[in-house]
Amino acid sequence: MSGFPAEGRLEITVTVADGHFSAVRVDSSRTLALPSLFRGRAAAEVPALCGRLYAVCRMAQGLAAAQAVERAAGLAVAAGQQAARRLLLRAETVLDQGGRALLEWPLLLGQGADAAACKALRGALADLPRLLYPDNDWLRPGGGRLAPDLAVLRDRLRRARAVVETAVLAGQGVGARLAAHLRAEDMEGFGACFLPALPSWSDLDVAQGLAWHDPAFIAAPTWRGLAHRTGALARLERHPALAGAGSGLLGLLRARLTELALALDDLDALAARRLEADPAAAFTGGDGVGIAVVETARGRLAHRLEMADGLVRHYAILAPTEWTFHPEGALVKGLLGAPAGPDPMARAGLLAALLDPCVPYRVTETPAMSGA
């Protein structure tokens, strides 16, 4: 997988001894200090910068930044603007999870990527911000000029649903084929991880319970002293569709498929609303601290901004990847002690792909040290 220049990738190194994973190391070239570039800039510029700098979860990064700026300024955002943003976030979930399923899941099965379906999905959803905000000002704090072309929007969503339902969710789709592969290889429970899921956070939790100024914490976050799980399974583990699936590969797969279906339904419900032109609130700067928490395809994303005279004093981003690939996180815990099978790198890559559908990674294997 090729990496993104601004965000790097993960290098996952596994060691096998006696047929089991005996060691797992994750090295990251992700640029976690990127938000330091925002210091001294006008806070109003940060959402658009996030939308350009971050290739992974681009819409979520930009909208989280916009919300953090708005909260720092005490700016109320109109209901129509909030609904449009929710639509963009759910569309990005479908685009990210569906796109990765079409491109990567077939490769995990030794098949060719479904590039045509992925292209069709991107064609339906990639430029949704312009359909809602014709001036392309959707990341402006307070909201942009919301003037959606609802007929075109609904047609795009119908097209996206048709692609995902046919190529991913249907009985012959890649989701069903991957589930059959897991059953055939007796890997339904592989990678099971008994870490707790991240609970809901109150504003006080986010403000005081996270070490926002500590780079080591941002690189390997914990909640109340423990690593936690985040992502589709952590959000949906009590959903009836996941009953009995567990926290291994089958549970992770079912969670992603369930969330895709739910996101498609959410998009239809949001598009059925009257997303008429809604005035934006005026951002005038000021002083304050703003925190935003957004659930993305890969897990929970949090932004924190300190603003003085409309300028950024401090900015921090806590990304879901650092939870999932924490030294004591879901990937490491799921692999350690698990049977490596005939192709350890393929097994580790399968777990990584289902844990986080977005971040580029590479898996390598090193020989076990012989004891003497």
Q: For 173-206, what is each residue's pLDDT tens digit?
A: 999 999 999 999 999 999 999 899 999 998 888 8
**Which H or E run includes 362?**
strand 361-367
Helix axes 79-103, 174-184, angle to 10 degrees: 50
**Which H or E run includes 270?**
helix 249-271
Distance CA 176, CA 181 (A): 9
Report pLDDT for 2. Answer: 34
| 359 has a pLDDT exceeding 80 | no
User: Which residues have a Cβ under 8 Å from the Cβ of 218 and sit 6 or more positions away?
Assistant: 32, 211, 212, 316, 317, 318, 322
Distance CA 38, CA 59 (A): 18
Kindly state the tokens that stand for 40. Answer: 């001294």
Report pLDDT for 164. Answer: 98
Using one digit for the tens of pLDDT, what is the confidence trace for 86-105? 999 999 999 999 999 999 99
Distance CA 241, CA 237 (A): 9
Residue 70 half-sphere exposure, CB side, CA atoms within 13 Å? Answer: 24
| 371 has a pLDDT exceeding 60 | no
Report pLDDT for 1. Answer: 33
When pLDDT is cut at 50, 70 and 90, the band that residue 284 belongs to is confident
| 133 has a pLDDT exceeding 80 | yes
Kindly state the tokens that stand for 146. Answer: 């919301």
Kindly state the tokens that stand for 152. Answer: 């075109």
Report pLDDT for 142. Answer: 92
Question: How far is CA 271 from its chain centroid?
Answer: 22
| 33 has a pLDDT exceeding 90 | no
DSSP 3-state of 241:
helix
- pTM, 2 dp: 0.93
When pLDDT is cut at 50, 70 and 90, the band that residue 250 belongs to is very high
| 3 has a pLDDT exceeding 70 | no
Kindly state the tokens that stand for 55. Answer: 């290739």
Using one digit for the tens of pLDDT, what is the confidence trace for 285-302? 789 999 999 999 999 999
| 153 has a pLDDT exceeding 90 | yes
Report pLDDT for 281. Answer: 76
| 154 has a pLDDT exceeding 90 | yes
Q: Mind spelling out the 3-state secondary structure of 65-90?
A: HHHHHHHHHCCCCCHHHHHHHHHHHH
**Which H or E run includes 233?**
helix 232-236
Q: What is the mean pLDDT of the chain?
A: 91
Domain regions of the chain by residue span: 76-193+246-282
Report pLDDT for 306. Answer: 96
Question: How far is CA 291 from its chain centroid?
Answer: 18
Report pLDDT for 5. Answer: 44
DSSP annotation of 283: P
Mean pLDDT of 361-371: 78
| 138 has a pLDDT exceeding 80 | yes
When pLDDT is cut at 50, 70 and 90, the band that residue 278 belongs to is low
Mean pLDDT of 255-264: 97
| 56 has a pLDDT exceeding 90 | no
| Amino acid code (one letter) for 294 | V
DSSP 132-189: H-TTS-TTSTT---B---HHHHHHHHHHHHHHHIIIIISTTSHHHHHHHHHHHTT-TT
Mean pLDDT of 44-55: 91
